[in-house]
Amino acid sequence: MNQNRIPLYEALKDFNSKHPISFHVPGHKHGLLFQDSLRDFSQILKYDVTELSGLDDLHSPEGAILEAQKLLSTYYGTKRSYFLVNGSTVGNLIMVLSVFRPGDTVFVQRNCHKSILNALKLGKVNPIFLDPEFDESLWVAGGVGSSTVEEAYHLYPDAKGCILTYPNYYGLASSLEKTINIVHQNRGLVLVDEAHGPHLRLGYPFPKSSIEFGADIIVQSAHKILPAMTMGSYLHINSEFISTERVEYYYSVLQSSSPSYPIMTSLDYARYFISTFTSEDIQYTLRQRDRFVDDLKKIKGILVANGIVEQDPLKLIIRYQGYSGYELQHFFEEEKIFVEMADPYQVVMVLPLLKKDMTYFYKDTIEKLKKVLNRHIYKINPTNRLQMESKQKINHLAMSYEEMEIKPIEWVSFDQALDRVAAKMIIPYPPGIPVILPGEIIDANKIAYIEKLIQNQARFQGNTYHILNKEIAVFKK
């Protein structure tokens, strides 16, 4: 197939060239109802159309969308690939609900995105949480060790599969080869949340994609790294053991019947962009990156951190001696530079994929950073390490999802919450990875970790008022 084509964009361009008159939804009428002050915003709205003749239908694709999705599948080498218009969030829901049945025992990497946890609950499965390995260099949770998966199968030989996150938010990508083999040998299916890896298909020096490792079904947030609009994501079926029918059923149930054409078109473009990315472009991207890293390292007090496993070169992890990641993030923002996220130790920057004629703001960023860090001189005191210790690597919930649905809850102080069953997630955001899961027992390590996050001014998603007041929701006894 010709990867230089962008069929959905071509269909829309052709449609607009005919100066169409709208007596259909959406109500903004090709942006004409956006008045003068919003004129620039309305530029994109001529592409915000609906399922008109010649523009195909995401839920029953036969024309431009079908062709665009075929190009996607050909590029990634999958059995079937789909556009998602509600992020990897909806992709994770579709994967879990279509692959598992209520009551199935399923292994789940504990440091997963909350959409996976929501999917487990909606799917009424029986999750067994697997603790990840701790990366001693970045001081963050990484991937699940294959020995943990092996041990889990000894304890739960009937498990139907395993849900993994790869790579993690920091770009850590420990090989999935062994883990996927173990799951397949046990006749299980591997579901991978590859939200942070839509570019891994580029190959070395990027870590391998889980598609190549042989995962059965995979979700990728195209919008996180590729030039796609927010919420634009891909879903890939990569094995004959996944029921296309069930996937397509949940795909249509969980997504809007009026999917956004700008998002879909940006997904078509993102596939074009990555599939035409040459080895020269890769070298150029990496040279620009390496120069930026060298310049960063010349700034006194700055450390560019590396994990101990393979790492995505587009995720840059930066520390500033004597300051937390949250403080460093504020320093960046003083100069209007916005990083992807901060944790107690470091910030994470997401670097661009550059084709060889593209430039980026690397030089400006270094100059601005030097200026701001002159105002906040580094300190010699070391940063304290903060780790959530857990007693054992393989854990099940103390209460079933059915029971959780009917039990009343109450908010209690951190002290009173000890050894009680948690009723709500506690999620530092970003990265959106829960520290406490509903249905699990709250232990002293978790409370100590949350207290340290609060001291370090971490942000939380939802229930912030209670958390900052040191209260946790638990199920009534």
Ligand X SMILES: Cc1ncc(COP(=O)(O)O)c(C=O)c1O
From the list 88, 105, 209, 285, which residue makes contact with ligand X (rule: CB under 6 A)?
88
d(CA 194, CA 217): 10
227 binds ligand X (CB under 6 A): no
288 binds ligand X (CB under 6 A): no
Residues contacting residue 470 through CB under 8 Å, at least 6 positions apart: 413, 414, 451, 454
Burial (0-12, 13-18, 19+ Cβ within 10 Å), 436: buried
Shortest distance (Å) from residue 180 CB to ligand X: 18
Shortest distance (Å) from residue 270 CB to ligand X: 13
| CA angle in degrees (0–180, nearest 5) for 365-367-370 | 105
Q: How do beta strands 302-305 and 409-413 pair?
A: unpaired
Whether residue 108 contacts residue 128, with contact meaning beta carbons closer than 8 Å, is answered with yes
From the list 47, 100, 107, 169, which residue makes contact with ligand X (rule: CB under 6 A)?
169
Residue 226 has which token pair?
A: 């590729």
DSSP-based three-state secondary structure for 233: strand
261-275 helix and 7-17 helix, angle to the nearest 10 degrees: 130
Contact range with ligand X by CB under 6 A, out of 71-79, 86-94, 313-321, 443-451: 86-94
Nearest to ligand X of 133, 295 (CB atom): 133
From the list 105, 146, 221, 285, which residue makes contact with ligand X (rule: CB under 6 A)?
221
From the list 7, 9, 87, 264, which residue makes contact with ligand X (rule: CB under 6 A)?
87
Nearest to ligand X of 183, 195 (CB atom): 195
Contact range with ligand X by CB under 6 A, out of 82-90, 280-288, 294-302, 362-370: 82-90
Shortest distance (Å) from residue 10 CB to ligand X: 26
Burial (0-12, 13-18, 19+ Cβ within 10 Å), 413: exposed
CA 29, chain centre distance (Å): 34
432 binds ligand X (CB under 6 A): yes
Nearest to ligand X of 81, 233 (CB atom): 233
- The residue sitting closest to ligand X, measured at its beta carbon, is 87
165 binds ligand X (CB under 6 A): yes
Helix (H) or strand (E) holding 268: helix 261-275
- The runs of H, that is alpha helices, within 35-171 are 39-42, 64-76, 87-99, 114-122, 146-155
Contact range with ligand X by CB under 6 A, out of 24-32, 81-89, 152-160, 282-290: 81-89
Nearest to ligand X of 108, 442 (CB atom): 108
Report the sign of the C-alpha dihedral through residues 426, 430, 431, 432, in that order: positive
- The runs of H, that is alpha helices, within 156-221 are 177-185, 210-213
Contact range with ligand X by CB under 6 A, out of 22-30, 83-91, 289-297, 329-337: 83-91
Residues contacting residue 287 through CB under 8 Å, at least 6 positions apart: none
Restricted to residues 104-133, the positions that interact with ligand X (CB under 6 A) are: 113, 115
Restricted to residues 8-47, the positions that interact with ligand X (CB under 6 A) are: none
220 binds ligand X (CB under 6 A): no
d(CA 422, CA 398): 9
342 binds ligand X (CB under 6 A): no
Contact range with ligand X by CB under 6 A, out of 63-71, 72-80, 85-93, 139-147: 85-93
Residue with tokens 């994501």: 233
Nearest to ligand X of 7, 434 (CB atom): 434
Nearest to ligand X of 186, 221 (CB atom): 221
Nearest to ligand X of 26, 432 (CB atom): 432
Question: Which chain residues interact with ligand X by CB under 6 A?
Answer: 87-89, 113, 115, 165, 169, 193, 195, 221, 233, 431-432
